[in-house]
């Protein structure tokens, strides 16, 4: 059963060859998600960071999963 007062966001970034493919870092994307949800009436409750190295593709994939709670 879902909780209408909570939402989940996922923010990911792929680093081909271990280097950035753009000037926007994962942290900047995450800050944008936090701000957008704040404007919608949600605050950050918790978050988790993961990083996976894919040797064959020579890529690093970083992901943040975050839970937001509606401010009542």
Over its C-alpha atoms, the chain yields an Rg (Å, rounded) of: 14
Tens of pLDDT, residues 13-70: 988 876 665 667 899 999 999 999 999 999 999 999 999 998 888 888 999 999 999 9
Whole-structure pTM value: 0.82
CB neighbours of 57 closer than 8 A, spacing ≥ 6? 16
């Amino acid at each position: 059963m879902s909780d209408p007062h909570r939402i989940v966001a996922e923010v990911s970034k792929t680093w081909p060859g271990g280097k950035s493919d753009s000037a926007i870092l994962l942290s900047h994307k995450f800050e944008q998600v936090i701000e957008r949800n704040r404007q919608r009436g949600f605050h950050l409750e918790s978050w988790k960071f993961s990083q996976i190295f894919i040797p064959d593709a020579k890529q690093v994939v970083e992901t943040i999963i975050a839970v937001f709670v509606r401010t009542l």
